[in-house]
Amino acid sequence: MSIKLGDTAPNFQADSSLGELDFYNFLGDSWGILFSHPADYTPVCTTELGMTSKLKSEFDKRNTKVIALSVDDADDHRGWIKDINETQNCAVDFPIIADKDKKVSEMYDFIHPNASATATVRSLLIIDPEKKVRLIITYPASTGRNFNEILRVLDSLQLTDNYKVATPVNWNDGDDVIVPPAISTEDARGIFPKGVTELKPYLRYTPQPNK
């Protein structure tokens, strides 16, 4: 099965480091991040899960729950978490899905045979409260994720869902945003009282509406 942007993220039930769970029940009405790891007790993944734990307050601010996945079993996950907490100076409190049979990995297209027939690739999905897939990023096994970018995209998705704007290259929270082409400059000046700067008829900026 291939998951694409805009698809409904499929539900599943699975064992995890925190016990049996139902994915949809776990997410509730929150945003969600589901990310896969090639295997337990691997160095890059250890740093990633440690960073995810340290960013808990940032994810909480964004009403976002995180859940990881590896093809190892729940006992291995729990042992690995002890190493993560020790080496990364953190306290992992989010679930890591046990996917020995690769059911979830195959459902979410986390197995790429040309990269590895057995290990999951380093993929990450952002899922909105309607359970729609809004972002898919896949890294090679050797490259750790950039969590600054993940938080940046979350901010952009939540901002653009709530306001009629888009975000430009290298945008960060607080920067000016773009007025979409579907809105005329005249209408934009009414919609965005902080002002509209027109560089071209199709390229207009306005200060971030919620700042």
Exposure string over 170-188, b if 16+ CB within 10 A, otherwise e: ebeeeebbbbeeebeeeeb
Q: Which helix (H) or strand (E) holds 138?
A: strand 133-139
Catalytic residue among 27, 33, 45, 179: 45
Distance (Å, whole) CA 183 – CA 39? 47
* CA–CA dist 197, 135 (Å, integer): 29
Q: Is 90 a catalytic residue?
A: no
In whole angstroms, what is the distance from residue 205 CA to residue 30 CA? 30
Catalytic residue numbers read 45
